């Protein structure tokens, strides 16, 4: 089974590949993977030794170099584990191709060290990305792979009527309307046009515009997104229902996030940060049924590396109008929290394809801050959607 990662040398992608190969070799326990729990016993999921990795990347470097940097700077990938996986990473690296930077925005261009040069037309760029995917499938004699977008958060794309249909997307490419695409749209188009499954783990709004979703449905491929739910928002979506269940009125919910690494550097750019905040700040009203005063702050703290800290303050009102407060602080490592979710969704997207399912995968809602086509934001309700799917897949 193939796994194609957009953003293949990033910290999360590196942790995904290292983790999958370590699991395949029996070097680690599957801690953090829902698909490794009794809930999925008897469900025909792909085994980790069968996963073959490739991808697109816009930065120079290697998976091995990225893994060594993580081991040195953060220690989240143990050096002793990495020592036995270098050949595995080299094989995956041999399948990584140059990604696209079309209309990526200042922050991503700067991260990639991009220089102005002769621009290729959109249709030619789309064909180049498709060609890489086709060749990957052909080399490994695969009919299907799961494409996962782990690339950096893009600035919001201003949508036009052309984004509403698959025909409109084709028109954008043919007419070379550069301002109407982002890299994530081109990546998603490459996957959808070839009928490959797609998991959109970033908050970028360009990847799953209606026209791309239509194309996935037309090609009979499953997809889901967007913005993986791993930290503060995960806690928020599990905690907010408490106030709803006990009829305690939330007056204000203030959240502050501090993070480092390349993700933090990208989100330090205002136009990229707006994309992220939009997905983090949208769930309270859907859970509670009303919109309290809320704020989500994100600040770049370079010394944190891939670690992140979130502090939330909740002001609420109870019986007799008495006002009370609750606070929580969350310390976590982004890649360690997210990598098992990505592997879970890779296995579930592959299963969905083998079951003949196409279009959105609503049973994956619990993995996302803004799940496509699922208005429910209560983590507990989302969890039961996954439970029901697992039971049906086992039957």
DSSP structure string for 305-332: TTEEEEEEEEEEE-GGG-EEEEEEEEEE
Residues 294 and 372 in one domain: no
Q: What are phi and psi of 25, to 5 degrees?
A: -95, 5
pTM (predicted TM-score): 0.92
Among residues 251, 198, 204, 245, which one has the least CA distance to residue 220?
198
Residues 379 and 325 in one domain: no
Residues 275 and 361 in one domain: no
Q: What is the CATH number of the domain that holds 215?
A: 3.40.50.720
Number of domains in the chain: 2
Residue ranges of E strands in the chain: 2-6, 52-57, 96-98, 145-149, 197-200, 222-225, 249-259, 293-300, 307-317, 323-333, 359-360
The contacts of residue 336 (CB under 8 Å, 6+ apart) are 15, 32, 76
Residues (pLDDT < 50) of the chain are none
Residues 130 and 261 in one domain: no
Residues 301 and 203 in one domain: no
The first and second tokens of residue 326, run together, are 């609750």
Q: Residue 85's domain spans which residues? A: 2-228+336-394
Residues 261 and 353 in one domain: no
Task: State whether residue 92 is helix, strand or coil.
Answer: helix
Question: What's the pLDDT tens digit per position in 203-213?
Answer: 999 999 999 99
Residues 191 and 273 in one domain: no
Distance in angstroms (rounded) separating the CA atoms of residues 189 and 173: 10
Enumerate the β-bridge partners of residue 359.
222
DSSP structure string for 215-249: HHHHTT-EEEESSB--SHHHHHHHHHHHHHHTTPE
Domain boundary among 333, 354, 375: 333
Residues 113 and 221 in one domain: yes
Residues 146 and 236 in one domain: no
Question: What's the pLDDT tens digit per position in 234-251?
Answer: 999 999 999 999 999 999
Residues 348 and 237 in one domain: no
Enumerate the β-bridge partners of residue 199.
148, 224
Residues 367 and 260 in one domain: no
Among residues 192, 193, 212, 166, which one has the least CA distance to residue 372?
212
Give the model's pLDDT for residue 209: 98
């Amino acid at each position: 089974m193939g796994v194609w990662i957009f953003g293949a040398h990033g910290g999360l992608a590196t942790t995904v590949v290292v983790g999958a190969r370590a699991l395949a070799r029996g070097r680690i326990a599957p801690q953090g993977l829902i698909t490794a729990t009794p809930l999925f016993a008897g469900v025909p999921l792909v085994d980790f030794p069968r996963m073959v990795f490739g991808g697109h990347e816009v930065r120079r470097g290697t998976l091995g170099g990225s893994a060594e940097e993580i081991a040195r700077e953060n220690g989240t990938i143990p050096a002793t584990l990495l020592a036995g996986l270098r050949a595995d990473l080299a094989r995956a690296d041999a399948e990584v191709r140059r990604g696209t930077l079309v209309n990526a925005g200042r922050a991503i261009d700067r991260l990639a060290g991009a220089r102005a040069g002769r621009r290729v037309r959109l249709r030619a760029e789309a064909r180049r990305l498709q060609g890489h995917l086709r060749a990957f499938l052909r080399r490994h004699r695969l009919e299907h792979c799961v494409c996962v977008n782990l690339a950096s958060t893009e600035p919001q794309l201003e949508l036009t009527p052309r984004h509403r249909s698959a025909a409109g997307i084709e028109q954008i490419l043919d007419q070379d309307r550069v301002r109407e695409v982002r890299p994530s749209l081109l990546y998603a188009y490459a996957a959808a046009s070839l009928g490959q499954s797609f998991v959109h783990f970033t908050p970028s709004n360009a990847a799953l515009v209606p026209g791309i979703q239509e194309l996935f449905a037309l090609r009979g491929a499953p997809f889901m997104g967007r913005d993986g739910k791993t930290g503060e928002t995960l806690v928020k979506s599990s905690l907010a229902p408490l106030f709803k269940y006990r009829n305690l009125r939330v007056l204000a919910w203030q959240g502050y996030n501090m993070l480092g690494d390349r993700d933090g550097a990208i989100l330090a750019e205002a136009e990229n940060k707006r994309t992220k905040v939009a997905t983090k700040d949208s769930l309270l009203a859907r859970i509670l049924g009303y919109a309290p005063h809320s704020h989500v702050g994100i600040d770049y703290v370079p010394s944190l590396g891939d670690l992140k800290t979130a502090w939330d303050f909740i002001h609420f009102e109870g019986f007799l109008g008495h006002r009370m407060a609750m606070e929580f602080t969350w310390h976590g490592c982004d890649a360690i929290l997210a990598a098992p979710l990505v592997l879970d969704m890779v296995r579930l997207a592959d299963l969905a394809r083998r079951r003949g399912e196409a279009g959105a995968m609503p049973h994956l809602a619990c993995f996302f801050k803004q799940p496509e086509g699922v208005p429910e934001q209560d983590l507990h309700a989302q969890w039961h959607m996954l439970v029901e799917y697992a039971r049906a897949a086992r039957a």
